[in-house]
Amino acid sequence: MHKPIFWILLLCFFVTVSGQEGTDKESESKKDLNESTNITYEANQELVQNDFIQAEADYRRAISKSDENTAAPYNLGRAYYNRESFAEAFARFKEAGEKAEEKPTKHKAFHNMGNVFMQNKEYEKAVEAYKQALRSNPNDDETRYNLALAKEMLKKDQNNQNNDQNKDDKNNDQNKDNKEQNQDQNNEGDQNKDKEGDQKDDQNKDQGDEGDKGEQKPEDNKKGDGEEKQEQKKQPNQGEEPEKKPRPRPNQLSKQQIQNLLEAMQNEEKKVQEKIDAKKVKGKKIKNEKDW
């Protein structure tokens, strides 16, 4: 009989101690929350007085004091957003939305997260943030308007991206066509160069053959060198008049030229003969047949 009573009393003791500890924790948590809320209020007043540096420090102190205080990160996010520090603002809005258990606070946090995405032109993420905000407060007209605007901007942005992609594809196709055309022209140019090269080779070959035919033998060259030396010896000294050389005759006369020469020679011979005959006539004695 004594043992069951002992265990019952022991169990009651542990329940009492556990309850006391829970009560103490709750009391301490409420105390931290109240202190964090008071610090947040002071930060709000400092922000109204444009003392951003002190307000930022107090908001951070309030956040570190209690995890249950969602007003401190949200208000700090608003302060960052007004100063266009969008990255810091987004982080604080996200923190407030994750900590919040009440729908109004979640709605405001996700609504402002959507605003940050709109500022960064991240329209697809903005659409999702506004949708999340409307799940907490479907009746907010401002959020619905922002959601419609985000969808319109997302559609416009996608159309611009498609147009840019089409332009890039068109430019790539055009560049490809130009490249192929240039390649074809280069190939035609190479073929023409090859043809010209072959023609030049054939022409050079023909000229080389003619040159081989016209070359003199070594003996002729020696002879020519000797003649050249003799001619150099025969050259007169300075101050002497060079001998007049006869003009070279033409290598060959045409038939007409030969005929003309023969006729000229015959005419000359005829004239000479006539002169001779005339002299003979004048020198011959004429007998006078006179009667005595």
Q: Quick one: 109 and 145 in the same domain?
A: yes
Q: Which two tokens stand for residue 171?
A: 């430019």
CATH number at residue 91: 1.25.40.10
pLDDT tens profile 190-234:
666 666 666 666 665 555 555 445 444 444 444 444 444 444 444
Q: Is residue 198 part of a domain?
A: yes
Query: What is the model's pTM?
Result: 0.52
SS (H, E, C) 101-118: CCHHHHHHHHHHHHHHHH
Could you tell me how far CA 92 lies from the centroid of its own chain? Answer: 43
Domain that holds residue 40: 21-69
Q: Which residue has the tokens 């419609």?
A: 148
Pick the last residue of a domain from 159, 180, 202: 202
Question: What is the rounded distance in angstroms from the CA atom of residue 116 to the CA atom of residue 119?
Answer: 5
Q: Are 158 and 129 in contact (CB under 8 A)?
A: no
Q: Is residue 258 part of a domain?
A: no
Q: Quick one: 96 and 154 in the same domain?
A: yes
Q: Is residue 140 part of a domain?
A: yes
pLDDT tens profile 120-179:
999 999 999 999 999 999 999 999 999 999 999 999 999 988 877 767 666 776 777 677
Long-range Cβ pairs for the range 201-207 (8 Å, 24+): none
Closest CA to 135 of 113, 97, 106, 163: 106
Q: Which two tokens stand for residue 61?
A: 């102190």
Q: Is residue 1 part of a domain?
A: no
Question: What is the rounded distance in angstroms from the CA atom of residue 209 to the CA atom of residue 220?
Answer: 19
Q: Is residue 141 part of a domain?
A: yes
Q: Is residue 277 part of a domain?
A: no
Q: Is residue 114 part of a domain?
A: yes
pLDDT tens profile 260-279:
777 877 787 778 777 777 76
Q: Is residue 177 part of a domain?
A: yes
Q: Quick one: 62 and 108 in the same domain?
A: no
Question: What is the rounded distance in angstroms from the CA atom of residue 54 to the CA atom of residue 45?
Answer: 10
User: Which 8-state DSSP code applies to residue 68?
Assistant: S
pLDDT band at residue 66 using 50, 70 and 90 as cut-offs = very high
The backbone region for 51, taken as left when phi is positive above 0, alpha when psi lies in -120 to 50, beta otherwise, is beta
Q: How many CB atoms lie within 10 A of CB 203?
A: 10
